[in-house]
């Protein structure tokens, strides 16, 4: 499988086997990061990282039981449930994000699925944020075909819907929906012509084989997600997984294994944006630097994610300065084609 040593002419593959992905994970660390960096440089401007901002437009009270999430009604996390924000307040936050240098605005709602009565406000948010010149992303739970079409019509750039972990482990993390439900929504989003954003969480006490299965599930989709967030679990007190990690600290994933996951995502999905998402607040700059070397090219800025703390703009500006990184102006600049052979 490694016969083609020129990543510039390597085809974008959707036929990865689990053995091949496991072999990537098993490479000596520096070799793995080197290969990922080669792929990264071939398809992206490696010194640039996209700045994105997250906003929770509807927080808490979610009927789903995702074991990592502070917003589930099953979690005793102290997060209070709110109503859907007013469109104007969302647009105000978006304008602040744009003024702070963000190029992408991601809006998240703690829903199993949006209700049809919510759609006019959601559509107005997408249109308003787009009109500010930022890329838009929404994550609202499961969608019907009609809702996906409405979001496409509104001009939504990306829909985020994570597979979160391997198909085998899914039911241990979430019981109120299935892995297949997740794939069905991704198919609807794709069919509606919206870019797909799908990734997951590393560090939930899963095995290496689960991380292989997680990347495999994404890298064997007919079209790779254009955007792949890799979150490090933020252990939140009162959630099943947050409490489990507090009791068994040895289950915490080590930084090198996290970087390996980023690198394998980069190699197997060469054209995708790989987003270093949640968990940076407790990550050293050295680990983040390794993630950027291994192909991550997006971060969430600001001091809050949806409910959890984030690194903060000052810390990020200082890190960019120290590492010589530049904020990305336009997205995916070297991406020539979306599928098929990519001779960059």
Looking at 37-45, 59-67, 181-189, 297-305, which segment touches ligand SF4 (CB under 6 A)? 59-67
Closest CA to 55 of 13, 17, 102, 4: 102
Whether residue 291 lies in the annotated active site: no
Task: Name the H helices within the chain.
Answer: 18-26, 29-43, 87-99, 119-131, 145-154, 170-173, 179-191, 208-219, 240-247, 255-268, 285-293, 313-323
Size of the residue set binding ligand SAM (CB under 6 A): 18
294 binds ligand SF4 (CB under 6 A): no
CA–chain centroid gap for 311, Å, is 16
253 binds ligand SAM (CB under 6 A): no
- The site map against ligand SF4 for 123-152 (x = CB under 6 A) is ------------------x-----------
Closest CA to 198 of 139, 261, 279: 139
When the beta carbons of 55 and 201 are compared against ligand SAM, the nearer one is: 201
Range 19-78, binding ligand SAM (CB under 6 A): 68-69
Instruction: Using CB atoms within 10 Å of the CB of residue 117, give its burial: 0 to 12 exposed, 13 to 18 middle, 19+ buried.
Output: exposed
Bridge-based pairing state of the strands 135-139 and 48-58: unpaired
- The site map against ligand DTB for 271-290 (x = CB under 6 A) is ------xx------------
What values do phi and psi take at 44, rounded to 5? -140, 160
Q: Which of 72, 147, 231, 288 binds ligand DTB (CB under 6 A)?
A: 231
Q: Which of 119, 308, 315, 323 binds ligand DTB (CB under 6 A)?
A: 308
Q: Which residues contact 338 (CB under 8 A, 6 or more apart)?
A: 223, 226, 271
Q: Which of 231, 287, 297, 301 binds ligand SAM (CB under 6 A)?
A: 231
161 binds ligand SAM (CB under 6 A): yes
Looking at 16-24, 27-35, 64-72, 116-124, which segment touches ligand SF4 (CB under 6 A)? 64-72
Three-state SS letters, 238-300: CCHHHHHHHHCHHHCCCHHHHHHHHHHHHHHCCCCEEEECCCHHHCCHHHHHHHHHCCCCEEE
Which entry of ligand SF4, ligand SAM, ligand DTB, none binds 106, CB below 5 to 8 A by partner kind?
ligand DTB
Which entry of ligand SF4, ligand DTB, ligand SAM, none binds 72, CB below 5 to 8 A by partner kind?
ligand SF4
Lookup result for tokens 């052979």? 341
Whether residue 66 lies in the annotated active site: yes
CA–chain centroid gap for 145, Å, is 23
Q: Which of 10, 33, 53, 64 binds ligand SF4 (CB under 6 A)?
A: 64
State the DSSP code for 83: P
Distance CA 127, CA 130 (A): 5
Whether residue 197 lies in the annotated active site: yes
163 binds ligand SF4 (CB under 6 A): no
Whether residue 69 lies in the annotated active site: yes
- Residues serving a catalytic function are 62, 66, 69, 106, 137, 197, 275
Name the site residues for ligand SAM (rule: CB under 6 A).
68-69, 108, 110-111, 139, 141, 161-162, 164, 200-201, 231, 233-234, 236, 278, 306
Residues that bind ligand DTB (CB under 6 A): 54, 70, 106, 108, 139, 160, 162, 199, 229, 231, 234, 277-278, 305-308
């Amino acid at each position: 499988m490694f016969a083609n040593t020129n990543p510039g002419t390597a085809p974008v593959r959707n036929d990865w086997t689990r053995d091949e992905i496991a072999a990537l994970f098993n490479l000596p660390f520096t070799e793995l990061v080197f290969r990922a960096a080669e792929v990264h440089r071939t398809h992206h401007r490696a010194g640039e990282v996209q700045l994105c901002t997250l906003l929770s437009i509807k927080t808490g009270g979610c009927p789903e039981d995702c074991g990592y999430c502070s917003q589930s009604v099953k979690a005793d996390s102290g997060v209070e449930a709110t109503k859907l924000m007013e469109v104007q307040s969302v647009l105000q936050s978006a304008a602040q994000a744009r003024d702070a240098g963000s190029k992408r605005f991601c809006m998240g709602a703690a829903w199993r699925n949006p209700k049809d009565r919510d759609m006019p406000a959601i559509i107005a948010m997408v249109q308003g944020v787009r009109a500010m010149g930022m890329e838009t992303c929404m994550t609202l739970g499961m969608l019907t075909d009609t809702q996906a079409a409405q979001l496409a019509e509104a001009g939504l750039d990306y829909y985020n819907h994570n597979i979160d972990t391997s198909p085998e482990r899914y039911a241990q993390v979430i019981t109120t929906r299935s892995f297949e439900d997740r794939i069905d929504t991704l198919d609807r989003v794709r069919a509606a012509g919206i870019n797909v954003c799908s990734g997951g969480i590393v560090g939930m006490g899963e095995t290496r084989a689960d991380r292989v299965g997680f990347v495999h599930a994404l890298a064997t989709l007919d079209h790779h997600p254009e955007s792949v967030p890799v979150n490090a679990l933020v252990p939140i007190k009162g959630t099943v997984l947050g409490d489990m990690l507090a009791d068994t600290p040895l289950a915490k994933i080590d930084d090198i294994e996290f970087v390996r996951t980023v690198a394998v995502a980069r190699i197997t999905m060469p054209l995708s944006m790989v987003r270093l998402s949640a968990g940076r607040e407790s990550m050293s700059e050295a680990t983040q630097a390794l993630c950027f070397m291994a192909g991550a090219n997006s971060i969430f800025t600001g001091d809050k994610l949806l409910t959890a703390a984030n690194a903060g703009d000052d810390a990020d500006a200082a890190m960019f300065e120290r590492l010589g990184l530049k904020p990305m102006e336009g997205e995916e600049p070297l991406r020539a084609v979306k599928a098929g052979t990519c001779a960059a």
